[in-house]
């Protein structure tokens, strides 16, 4: 009986720590941290790589957006890598290349892959044609705020910074399905700010990430190439900074099918990273491998099993004098930490950057999102273990 009580306490602690405890700790750290003043005059040459597959609907808008960045045109280039599109993506880019051939604008290039190999391969191909020391990878359906390069590049003046991630913002939070994803990224914002202050951000988003091109090569076998790059950079001894003022706006999935497709791919990629770098995480040598990655990513990969373990132990013990006090204590602790987390979220986020208030209806939406996510994690484990996945693109069409 003692063993079961200990297990109940351990599993409930892990659940609380994953969902509200660790985010609250990072929020507290972020709240007390004063960012170092940046030197805005530091302007390294940047190569912006845009992997693309059948993006004729959005590629012109994306290129126009990148050409309007508040950064000297002679200090950045835009490289669109067409990974075997079957539509008019290449033709549209070619026309824009001819149109924008002035010295005052950023250089625009089109690189065509010989065959479709996936986003990671497209990034490597773009890097081969890049002139900059800093690579910035983004998606074709994202839109940057004009100040993105101005906010991100000064961080690279510090030789210890290997990468800088910007803030991903869901541009359609009014949508019923996208609203929960928007709230999820609000919490990521809180955690990434705290992690960057503590030692290093856990990861950067695939829609907006900049890194020193000479320190990593993208692994073409991994689905979550952004997370794998982040781990490589951290293992090489560099820190990953988070710049919340550099914003990439991108539509969230508006169908459950697309949401499952996106999230399952991300989870499989995370599992690949965990197994590939297992020696680094099994023998922790820094805060990133000891605390940051296990709390931010590792626990999420086993959360369906952690959550299901509690009711299973209740069934085994079948003693209301143990079950009821444990359940009440767990719910109260979770509710208290959730309240603290919401206060920290409100304090850290500027009013104009918030995606909406957390009312009771939205809490039910969040609960639905969490349960759906746990189901997706189980699906991802199944596909990962049986090798049912591919690095080739699986686009969510509702985000275009």
Q: What is the rounded CA–CA span in Å between residue 51 and residue 392?
A: 12
CA angle (7, 12, 14) in 5-degree steps: 95
pLDDT in tens, 117-162: 999 999 999 999 999 999 999 999 999 999 999 999 999 999 999 9
d(CA 360, CA 357): 9
Q: Which residues contact 387 (CB under 8 A, 6 or more apart)?
A: none
Give the three-class secondary structure for 239. strand
CA 69 to chain centre: 22
Cα–Cα separations (whole angstroms), residue 345 to 16, 20, 241, 255, 262:
17, 12, 20, 27, 25
From the list 171, 181, 164, the residue with the least C-alpha distance to 143 is 171
Residues 190-241 pLDDT 10s: 999 999 999 999 999 999 999 999 999 999 999 999 999 999 999 999 999 9
Question: Which band of pLDDT confidence, cut at 50, 70 and 90, is reported for residue 360?
Answer: very low
pLDDT digits (tens, 9 = 90+) for 174-196: 888 888 888 899 999 999 999 99
pLDDT recorded at residue 352: 46
């Amino acid at each position: 009986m003692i063993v079961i009580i200990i297990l109940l306490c351990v599993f409930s602690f892990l659940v609380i720590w994953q969902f509200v405890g660790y985010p609250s700790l990072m929020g507290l750290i972020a709240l007390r941290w004063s960012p170092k003043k940046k030197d805005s005059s530091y302007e390294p040459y940047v190569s912006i790589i845009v992997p693309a597959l059948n993006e004729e609907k959005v590629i012109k808008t994306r290129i126009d957006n990148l050409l309007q960045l508040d950064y000297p045109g002679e200090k950045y280039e835009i490289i669109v890598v067409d990974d075997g599109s079957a539509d008019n993506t290449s033709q549209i880019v070619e026309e824009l290349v001819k149109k924008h051939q002035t010295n005052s604008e950023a250089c625009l290039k089109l690189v065509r892959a010989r065959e479709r190999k996936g986003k990671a391969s497209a990034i490597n191909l773009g890097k081969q044609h890049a002139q900059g020391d800093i690579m910035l990878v983004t998606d074709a359906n994202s839109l940057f705020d004009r100040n993105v390069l101005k906010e991100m590049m000064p961080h690279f003046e510090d030789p210890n910074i290997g990468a800088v991630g910007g803030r991903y913002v869901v541009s359609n939070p009014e949508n019923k399905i996208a609203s929960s994803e928007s709230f999820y990224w609000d919490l990521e914002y809180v955690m990434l700010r705290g992690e960057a202050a503590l030692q290093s951000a856990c990861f950067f988003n695939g829609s907006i990430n900049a890194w020193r091109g000479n320190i990593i090569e993208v692994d073409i076998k991994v689905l979550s190439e952004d997370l794998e790059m982040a781990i490589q950079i951290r293992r090489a001894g560099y820190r990953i900074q988070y710049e919340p003022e550099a914003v990439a706006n991108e539509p969230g999935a508006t169908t459950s099918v697309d949401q499952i497709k996106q999230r399952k791919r991300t989870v499989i990629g995370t599992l690949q990273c965990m197994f590939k770098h297992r020696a680094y995480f099994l023998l922790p040598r820094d805060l990133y491998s000891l605390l940051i990655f296990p709390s931010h990513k590792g626990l999420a990969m086993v959360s369906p099993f952690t959550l299901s373990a509690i009711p299973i132990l209740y069934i085994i013990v079948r003693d209301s004098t143990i079950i009821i006090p444990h359940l009440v204590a767990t719910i109260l602790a979770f509710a208290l930490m959730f309240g603290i987390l919401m206060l920290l979220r409100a304090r850290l986020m500027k009013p104009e950057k918030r995606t909406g208030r957390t009312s009771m209806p939205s809490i039910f939406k969040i609960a639905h999102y969490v349960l759906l996510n746990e189901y997706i994690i189980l699906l991802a484990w199944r596909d990962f273990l049986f090798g049912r996945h591919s690095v080739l693109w699986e686009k969510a069409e509702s985000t275009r």
